[in-house]
Structures are given as C-alpha cells and as structure tokens.
Structure 1
C-alpha cells in the first residue's frame, strides 16, 4: 500500500481523509496479512504512530499517490521453479493524465529493495487495476484502458494479448468495451467486473437513482460476459452488486472521477475487505451478498468516502504479494 502526500492531486481535508482511509484499510488487512505501507518523510511519523503492529512502514520519497495497484509491480510465479518475479508495467500515469511524481519508480523499489524479487520489464503499458485474472488462465479487461493509444500507441489487441500471455501465463481473453475519458483510468475493470472465483463474476450495477461513471460499460460487459466461456470452457455465472445512491454519500457525488463500486474489494487470507460508503441500505446489501459469495471467509467493511471521490477504492489502493517461500 502507499500513503498519499501533498504532491498528489489532493489537498486539505480531502488529502487528510484519504490518508485516514489508507490507514484504516491497512489496519483491516493487517488483521489477516502482513502489510508493507510506503510513505514519504512528510507522512511517515503520522502513519507509523497509527498503524497496526502487522504493518511495516517503508519510507521513500518517491511515494506521492495512493494507487499502488496501478504503479506497483504485479507478482508472478515461474512455472518451472515457483520462484516469484515482479512485472513492471511501465506506469505512465493513466495515459499521461498526470505529471510524473516519482510513483513510476515504486514498482522496482518494491520488488528489488524490499522483497528481493527479480524484475521483468513489460513490453506494454498497463495498470494493475485494468487487469483481472481468475488464476486458471482467464484474463478480463476493458479495451478502453489497454487497447488505447494513450498507453499502447500503434499496438493491436492481438499484440497486447501476446505480451500478456508471455508475462502472466493467461490463455483466454474476455474483453469488454469500457468507456474512454469518463474518468482518469478509462474504465478499469476492477471497478466494473471481478472474478469471485473461476467461472463466477461480480458486476458493479449502476444505481437506479442515477448511473455512475460506467452505465454503458456495465450493459456492454453484462451482455458480452453472458455469452463467453473461460479458459476451461465454463460459462460464466454473473452476479450484480448495486452501487450506492450517491445522493446519500458525504460529498462523493461532487468528484469528477467519482467511482463508488462494491466490486473494488480485496481478498486476503481467510477474509474479504469490502467498502462501506454511507448508503446504509446498499452497504448492508453488499455485506450480505459478499457473505453469500464467500461463505468460508470473514467479510470486513471499511468506510471510504475520500477514495471514491478521487477515483478508486480498496482494491485500487492495495497490491497483494504471493508467499515468497
């Protein structure tokens, strides 16, 4: 994880709220797994004094944004010897929508200096939030966030698939359209559709009180995925999680990049960390749905309002690391 500082795009109470939510998420994850939390010197003492004992705070001045899912490394295991390597997907600030501020170096710092994993340099540009994998060879993504000249100019979808297969070992691609330019990420899949397990997908359904950023993307994704099979030939079982009513959320609806999606969750060892936004009815509905989908895991909700306002959620703010031994 990473704690944002004043060189990010946010300031004042919004920055403070985002920092508080990062600490809350880290502490929730720490009940299940150890956490490495990147922090610049600006926030180090504050963060260090407030985190769970299972959270290790690593000080590096490269840290400015909180979206470590996108600029951090993606970890992979070798088929041959089970060694762990880290893929650097050449983060370019979501298609050059932000000026570089150091976070582009975090992937190498995380893999080499902290975890001692070898780095693999990708031949394409991508963000972790734009890719979803079922663990059995099936890859899911929105074309808008990958087959886009702001990331991969001149590259065809076939060329991008070949590189993803080389790096991630995937064999079947489920592409949805997504939506270009509605918010910074150009429709990351982790706020739209996620694998619960192989063959089971959870979709973020726009609120009937007013569609969020991905209304057209949801309709397209549901249609396409209902007609697809995964790498093992299974038809996909689809579930919907209805987004909160933004009118009930403190200031969330004000954000240009506002994304309030329950599917932006994180699986941890023995548990699932999901968002709570402040719409009590939808929050409770999401909790009950996740308990049904994950009967053998403890489901924990963490209140977030700053993160969705600036464009993401719990999954966006975290990056899992496989066991290194």
Structure 2
C-alpha cells in the first residue's frame, strides 16, 4: 500500500532545486559554452535574487553533470559564485539536461514524508532516447534519499503536467494520448495514473502544443498556474506568429474551465515571443517556460532570435503584477533553446517535507 501523494504547486516553498548542466559536446556543438553561460545566469538568479551583496538567498541548488570535462566546467562555474557552498555538484550519467522530463516529480505524502513519483521515459516518443536518461529519476531519488515510486506502464514527462497544488492539472492530448507514448490509454486511464502518482482530482485537457515542439505539446510551453484559481497563457505577437491559432484555442479552453473545487479559472495573458526561428524553422520559444523559485520568477527571453521587437519586457511586467515574488528576471536562453527547451525544462523543484492538507 502507498499513501496518498500530492504534487505541490511550484510557488509553494522549495527546499532545493535540481538543474541539468549541458554536458555533451556532440549534442550542443557551438552552443555548448553559451548554453552553459545561460544556465549559470539562471542559477545565479535562483541563489542570489537580490544580487551578490544582498543577504537574501534562494533555495539550495543541485547540479547534475556528466563526464570529466562537464564536471570540471561546472566546478569552475561553481567557484565563481559568491557562496559556492550553496551549490552541490553531482556526477551523474545524464544523457541531456532536461530534468523536468527525465527526473522524478517530488510529492508530499499523507504521513508527512517527502517522496517522488516517476513515469517511464521513451525519449519524447522515441525521438531522442539517450543513454541513462531513463534511469536519472532513480539517481536523483538516491542522491536526495527519497522513496521513489515508478509508474512503469505509463509514459510521460514532468513538462507535460502543470498543477495548482490543489488537485487541478493541465496537460495536452497531443502529448499524453500520443500513439508514440500511450496508444492504448484513454483520458480516463491517464487521469487515474495522475491521481495515484500526483494527487490529480481534475485534469483540464488542451489539444495541441507549439509548432516546432519536439515534446509533442508540453504544457509548460503553453499555460502555467501562478496562484490558486489563476492561470497564465500567451497571446500572439505579430501577424506572423506561427502559434496564433493554438494560443487562441488555449485561452478559449482555459476561460471556460473550472478547477477541482468547481471555481472558474481566472486567465491572464502575456505576449508570446512571436516568430522565433532556428535554422529557418519555427522554434518552440515560450515565455511560459519560466521557473518560480522561492524569491524570484525567472522567465526566458530570446533576444535576436525573435523577428519582432522583444516582447519580454511587457511579459515580465504582467507577471510582476500577478505573481507574489519580490524579484523578476528575463534572462536570454536562446542557446538553451537550440537543445529544445528552456529554464523550466532543465529544472525540478524539491519541496520540504510536510503533511498533506486535511481536505485532500
């Protein structure tokens, strides 16, 4: 018998965060160094949101790196921090950095313990299955001394799921009902797994994800909860936004949805990055791939890759008005994007232990 599990909302207190370090030169090629610099900027915003001279500190950071060269580069990065002891470096055989998808999802149990749930991983539908990625959830559970329950018969990724911490989840049919993941499962079948693994009481299903998204429509590029009953999504930027239709449908569905408690969702929109190209093709660039740390919101932006004037200033100003955090950052992640994601994709928060609310 397993006790009831609940995945906390991202804005709830974190004890630590796990982050992947770009490690494979053959995957990153000329973007390896610049991607590492962007990850370092992300880490600094988490650890020192008020600046290096401020007494304010964020959650502890755990970085996973693979191989001698990557570990050495990560150690150099660590040594540049004002307080290197706030970061723990782990030697781990990660295939790539997308820990939101390959790592475990931390949950709280009714007996007051912290535990982890994980699903089977098949390289985003067989596209990019790299050595050890299917095992990294067990490695992180071992590093963090967590009880891990793996749901072997279900293929899914953390970036495909978004929760308000009160039993309401968002996901997409394009991802979790895809023939390349769970071809014989219905919406109800998936919901039963999410109930057991993460405490889902209601799942709101969206249809399609962003164009150029090799994850087949991960929700953390489409819509995010930012408070109980409050969700943010994007509106198109420019007349040539490749995702105009998708974004309009996302806003429409969310505006008609209620949470697990039966209350109508409040929907806030921010501008999308617009038409962002990589090698001449639309990339899945998204302002939704932000990370909510204990003291900051870190939102990706895409600099010169956007074909329009940078809409990130407007986006971050709206988030400032809606999310309860003292610090906000818009940090360029153009080089991380060449690998297929951004800050939320490479991170997984670890909450402190604590009992479930009695209502759950």
Where does 1:116-155 land on structure 2 (aligned, <5 Å)?
116-122=145-151, 123-155=153-185
Q: Does 1:68 align with 2:99?
A: yes
- Tell me the residue number matched to 1:4: 22
Output aligned runs, 1:202-213, within 5 Å: 202-212=232-242
Change (3 A) 1:255 1:131: farther
Q: Deviations over 1:259-279 (max 9, x none)?
A: 221111111112211123226
Greater mean deviation of Cα atoms: 139-148 or 235-244: 235-244
Compute the RMSD of aligned alpha carbons: 2.0
Question: 1:233 & 1:85 partners in 2: Cα distance?
Answer: 28
Aligned to 1:42: 69
Q: C-alpha separation between the residues in 2 aligned to 1:180 and 1:152?
A: 20
Is the counterpart of residue 199 in structure 1 residue 229 in structure 2?
A: yes
Is 1:110 the equivalent of 2:140?
Answer: yes
Q: 25-34 vs 224-233, which deviates more?
A: 25-34
- Which has the higher mean CA deviation after the structures are superposed, 215-224 or 123-132? 215-224
Distance 2:113 2:31 in 1: 40
Closer/same/farther in 2, CA of residues 194 and 255 from structure 1, 3 Å limit: farther
Corresponding residue of 2:6: none
Q: 1: distance between equivalents of 2:166 and 2:301? A: 30
State the Cα distance separating 1:15 from its structure 2 match.
Answer: 2.2
How many pairs were matched up? 316
What is aligned with 1:27? Answer: 44
Between the aligned partners of 1:140 and 1:255, the Cα distance in structure 2 is 31
Q: Residues 311 and 257 of structure 1: is their aligned pair in 2 closer, same or farther, counting only changes over 3 Å?
A: farther
Please state if 1:184 is matched with 2:214: yes
Mind listing any 5+ residue stretches in structure 1 that lack a counterpart? none
Q: Does 1 or 2 have the higher relative contact order (CA < 8 Å, sep 6+)?
A: 2
Does the CA-based 8 Å contact 2:209-2:222 persist in structure 1? no
Report if the CA contact (8 A) 1:201-1:239 is conserved: yes
Distance 1:154 1:255 in 2: 36
Aligned residues of 1:3 and 1:64 also touching (Cα < 8 A): no
Q: Is 1:259 the counterpart of 2:297 in the alignment?
A: no
Alignment partners' CA distance in 2, 1:102 and 1:50:
24
Structure 2 SS opposite 1:219: helix
- Note closer, same or farther for the CA distance 1:129–1:176 as it changes in structure 2 (3 Å cut): same
Label 1:295 to 1:87 Cα distance change in 2 as closer, same or farther (>3 A).
closer
Distance 2:109 2:320 in 1: 33
Shift of 1:215: 3.4
1:42 to partner: Cα distance: 2.5
User: Distance in 2 between the 1:282 and 1:182 partners?
Assistant: 20
What TM-score results when the alignment is normalised by the length of structure 1?
A: 0.91
Q: Which moved more, 1:254-263 or 1:33-42?
A: 254-263
Structure 1 residue 168: Cα displacement = 0.8
Structure 2 gap ranges (5+): 1-18, 49-57, 355-360
My pick for the range that moved more, 159-168 or 272-281, is 272-281
Measured in 2, the distance between the counterparts of 1:171 and 1:263 equals 24
